[in-house]
């Protein structure tokens, strides 16, 4: 009887070991998962078990220990197949087989350089101060070689890369440094600003820096693409007439009050970004515009309108006279 019990026990233990080592994950289709940089064996085991990719944390830790593979587990994004055994998984992680060495970054249209820096830090790419030392200060030329980017030639010295960090979705290497990421954004800006667009800017007597500043305002002021050429036309017309632009977005940029309603006291702030107080474009772009806003700045639509506002529902309302504008304010902003 004891012999039978031992025999059954051995079969049971053997079956458990077989399931742990050679049993497949409890998934029905391939699953992608990231193994974070710096994760230890226990943390990786916990992550895999919670995702039903292994049947036993202890089995994973034991197999890694037996193979002395703890220091060889490689970070990265892996695709786990339903047919993979525990030994297959450990082999894949120690050899980095199939690891995706890239990550996706999405820079949103209108984000400021500071918001880009915050995002990159949150994604684990760089400390925000490091990115801002490249993109947001006069040290740009020292930290990043920008001599190959002709569109930056008319950018004043001492002005950072605000406005030129083109918003888009990027795939970058996981170990990409801040210089490489900033360069990718500049290269993208260069590819979007065609030779024809640059020629049209020159023919209008404007500079790329003028266009980027205007585009950043258009991006911030109105969300709907179809309204942007009209807004651009109004703002260029105000400048040509010697009027102040009188837009909230520039002052919000200065006081870090993104898209908030300005108080009468704030409207008196003495800042070159206060376009109620000072005429002309702000001294720098106020964000990083997308292609739609850039095109609107280059190709404005000329209308009889002089005023506009965005209602609480996001609709843009235009007016030809100040009286009409005041009626719109009373109707749509209260």
Kindly report, residue by residue over 311-326, the tens digit of the pLDDT. 888 899 999 999 999 9
Kindly tell me if the per-residue pLDDT of 275 is higher than 90: yes
Q: Residues 104-125: what's their mean pLDDT?
A: 92
Give pLDDT tens digits for 12-66.
Answer: 444 445 555 555 566 878 888 888 878 899 999 999 998 888 888 898 999 999 9
In the block, which residue shows the tokens 């070991």?
A: 17
Phi, psi dihedral angles at 317 (to 5 degrees): -115, 130
Output the average pLDDT for the chain. 86
Contact, 17 vs 79, CB < 8 A? Answer: no
Domains of the chain: 2-100 (3.30.1490.480), 103-192 (no CATH), 195-303 (no CATH)
Q: Residues 146-165: what's their mean pLDDT?
A: 90
Output the pLDDT for position 3: 59
Q: What is the pTM of this model?
A: 0.72
Output the pLDDT for position 264: 81
H-only helix segments in 106-227: 113-122, 128-135, 140-143, 178-192, 195-203, 208-221
Output the pLDDT for position 14: 47
What is the spatial distance between Cα 302 and Cα 264, in angstroms, rounded to a whole number? 31
3-state secondary structure 238-277: HHHCCCCCCCHHHHHHHHCCCCCCCCCCHHHCCCCCCCCC
Kindly tell me if the per-residue pLDDT of 74 is higher than 90: no
What is the spatial distance between Cα 216 and Cα 228, in angstroms, rounded to a whole number? 11
Measure the CA angle with vertex 212, ends 147 and 152; round to 5°. Answer: 10
Name which residue leads in pLDDT, 143 or 269. Answer: 269
């Amino acid at each position: 009887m004891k012999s039978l019990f031992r025999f059954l026990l051995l079969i049971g233990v053997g079956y458990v070991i077989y399931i742990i080592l050679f049993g497949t994950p409890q998934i029905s289709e391939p699953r992608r998962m990231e193994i974070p940089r710096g994760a230890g064996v226990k943390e990786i085991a916990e992550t895999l078990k919670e995702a039903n990719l292994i049947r036993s944390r202890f089995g994973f830790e034991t197999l890694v220990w037996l193979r002395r593979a703890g220091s060889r587990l490689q970070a990265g994004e892996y695709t786990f197949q339903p047919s993979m055994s525990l030994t297959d998984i450990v082999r894949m992680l120690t050899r980095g087989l199939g690891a995706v060495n890239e990550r996706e970054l999405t820079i949103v249209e209108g984000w400021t350089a500071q918001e880009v820096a915050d995002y990159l830090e949150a994604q684990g790419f760089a400390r925000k101060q490091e990115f801002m030392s490249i993109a947001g200060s006069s040290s740009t030329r020292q930290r990043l070689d920008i001599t190959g980017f002709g569109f930056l030639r008319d950018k004043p010295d001492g002005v950072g890369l605000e406005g030129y960090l083109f918003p888009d979705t990027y795939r970058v290497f996981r170990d990409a440094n801040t210089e490489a990421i900033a360069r990718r954004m500049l290269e993208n800006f260069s590819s979007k600003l065609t030779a024809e667009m640059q020629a049209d800017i020159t023919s209008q007597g404007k500079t790329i820096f003028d266009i980027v500043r205007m585009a950043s305002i258009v991006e911030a002021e109105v969300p709907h693409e179809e309204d942007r050429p009209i807004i651009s036309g109004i703002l260029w017309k105000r400048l040509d007439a010697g009027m102040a632009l009188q837009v909230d977005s520039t002052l919000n940029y200065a006081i870090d009050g993104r898209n908030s309603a300005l108080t009468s006291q704030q409207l008196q702030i003495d800042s070159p970004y206060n376009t109620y107080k000072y005429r002309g474009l702000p001294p720098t772009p106020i964000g990083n515009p997308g292609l739609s806003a850039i095109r609107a700045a280059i190709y404005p639509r000329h209308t009889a309108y002089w005023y506009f506002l965005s209602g609480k529902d996001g609709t843009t309302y235009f007016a030809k006279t100040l009286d009409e504008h005041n009626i719109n304010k009373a109707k749509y902003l209260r």
